[in-house]
Amino acid sequence: MAEKKRIYLSCPTMHGEEQKFVQEAFDTNWVAPLGPNVTKFEEEMAAYTGCGHAAALSAGTAAIHLAVKLLGIKQDDVVFVSSLTFSATCNPISYEKAKPVFIDSEPDTWNMSPKALRKAFEKYPNPKAVVLVHLYGTPAKLDEIMEICAEHNVPLIEDAAESLGSTYKGQMTGTFGRIGIYSFNGNKIITTSGGGMMVSQEEALTKEATNLATQARDAARHYQHSKIGYNYRMSNVVAGIGRGQLIHIEEHKKIKNDIYKQYTNAFADIEDISMNPMNPDGDANNWLSCILLKEGCKVTPNEIMDALDAENIESRPIWKPMNLQPVFADCDFFSHNDEGISVGEDIFNRGLCMPSDIKNTPEDMELIINTVRKLFA
């Protein structure tokens, strides 16, 4: 029997322009770490997002690490960070031996809860930063989060790794905080195979990020270093892929939005299924479309994932909240709820990420949807 076609959660989609920019790098022998593609990719990202200034780096995690360094976060400093996220959001806090304090989600967007954030400030009035995630591409409640940060004079770092192209009240996510970060991992809305970018309206911050990312070499003819640096710069070849991808980001976003709408319509008559919520003040890129099962539903997320897997279809659990991770067991956590389990834990228990690849054909989508619907027949 022929093997069933593999349908992915979200994987790279190449168009051709990527090869052109990569070929330029080879033709001009700019295969060393830096070169014209890096400079142009930074300029083009700055123009697309309105971020001001950008530093192209080896990963989104590297961008968060440099953001932590640039804001002077050191050992034992407290940093508030979204709990419902991937570990790369908070690992860099631990690199510097600072203390992550996890903030629960709210049910309206699944992002950081302003209510829980205020609780955290009551116990820790002087954190060094707030790290906010725009989960699965949906903008957070930025007005409320920024108001709280301003009240306490605490800088905001935006982890927009999943939300490139998403906007809040017409402004790109990643450009509200003092520092923003984007990821170009292989499954993101655009990819460089691996890479990221740190952005800021403050040119001094991106310049210092670039310096730290290139081993913090001093401006001397000889090799001189006055501080510890890192090998975090994006290569000229990888940046060429990113330039070709960026041309198509709005096209990718439209297809992702169409996938979300297809699932919404397909499951509208199943009262046990709802979609991940949208922020009415935002325009999400819908990087991943997710479903949430009604409390008490007889079908479980694992049963849906097993049924999809039997058809060679990739799906994924919701991120397991960081406050539930063994490595962060000793860290403090502030729940949105006053009693019972947290919002993030509830979403983790009842949700899953649906296949959201922009190359899915109508036949692929029909198979995915019918596989899920059979479980509720």
Residue 196 and residue 119 share a domain = yes
* pLDDT tens for each residue of 192-240: 999 999 999 999 999 999 999 999 999 999 999 999 999 999 999 999 9
* pLDDT tens for each residue of 140-165: 999 999 999 999 999 999 999 999 99
Q: Are the C-beta atoms of 200 and 52 separated by less than 8 Å? A: yes
Say what the pTM is.
Answer: 0.96
Last residue of a domain, one of 183, 214, 246: 246
pLDDT band at 121 (very low <50, low <70, confident <90, very high): very high
Across the range 308-328, mean pLDDT stands at: 98
Q: Are the C-beta atoms of 136 and 162 separated by less than 8 Å? A: yes
Residue appearing with tokens 């060429």: 240
Per the structure, the count of domains in the chain is 2
Residue 143 and residue 38 share a domain = yes
Q: Residue 229 corresponds to which tokens in the numbers above?
A: 């640096």
DSSP three-state, residue 306: helix
Q: At residue 283, does pLDDT exceed 80?
A: yes
* pLDDT tens for each residue of 266-277: 999 999 999 999
Task: Report yes or no on 39 lying in a domain.
Answer: yes
Q: Are the C-beta atoms of 196 and 60 separated by less than 8 Å? A: yes
Residue 174 and residue 52 share a domain = yes
Structural domain span for residue 118: 17-246
Q: At residue 33, does pLDDT exceed 90?
A: no
The CATH number given to whatever domain includes residue 163 is: 3.40.640.10
Residue 254 and residue 234 share a domain = no
Q: How far apart are CA 147 and CA 366, in angstroms?
A: 44
pLDDT value, residue 237: 96
58 residue type, one letter: S
Residue 308 and residue 223 share a domain = no
Across the range 96-102, mean pLDDT stands at: 98
Cα dihedral across residues 148, 151, 157, 160: positive or negative: positive
pLDDT band at 265 (very low <50, low <70, confident <90, very high): very high
pLDDT value, residue 32: 77
Residue 146: count other Cβ atoms within 10 Å of its Cβ: 17
Across the range 172-188, mean pLDDT stands at: 97
Residue 95 and residue 121 share a domain = yes
The CATH number given to whatever domain includes residue 259 is: 3.90.1150.10
pLDDT value, residue 69: 98
- What residue ranges in 7-112 does DSSP mark as E strands? 53-57, 78-82, 99-103
Q: At residue 2, does pLDDT exceed 80?
A: no
- What residue ranges in the chain does DSSP mark as E strands? 53-57, 78-82, 99-103, 129-133, 156-159, 167-168, 171-172, 179-183, 196-200, 273-275, 282-283, 290-293, 316-317, 333-334, 351-353
User: What's the mean per-residue pLDDT of the chain?
Assistant: 97
Task: Report yes or no on 186 lying in a domain.
Answer: yes
Q: How far apart are CA 126 and CA 350, in angstroms?
A: 35
Secondary structure tally for the chain: helices H, strands E? 12, 15
CA proximity to 301, closest of 344, 339, 343, 350: 350
Q: Are the C-beta atoms of 18 and 31 separated by less than 8 Å? A: no
Q: How far apart are CA 364 and CA 289, in angstroms?
A: 15
Q: Are the C-beta atoms of 322 and 81 separated by less than 8 Å? A: yes
Q: Which residues contact 219 (CB under 8 A, 6 or more apart)?
A: none
pLDDT band at 23 (very low <50, low <70, confident <90, very high): very high
Residue 137 and residue 63 share a domain = yes
Across the range 107-111, mean pLDDT stands at: 98
What phi, psi does 275 have (nearest 5°)? -90, 160
Residue 259 and residue 240 share a domain = no
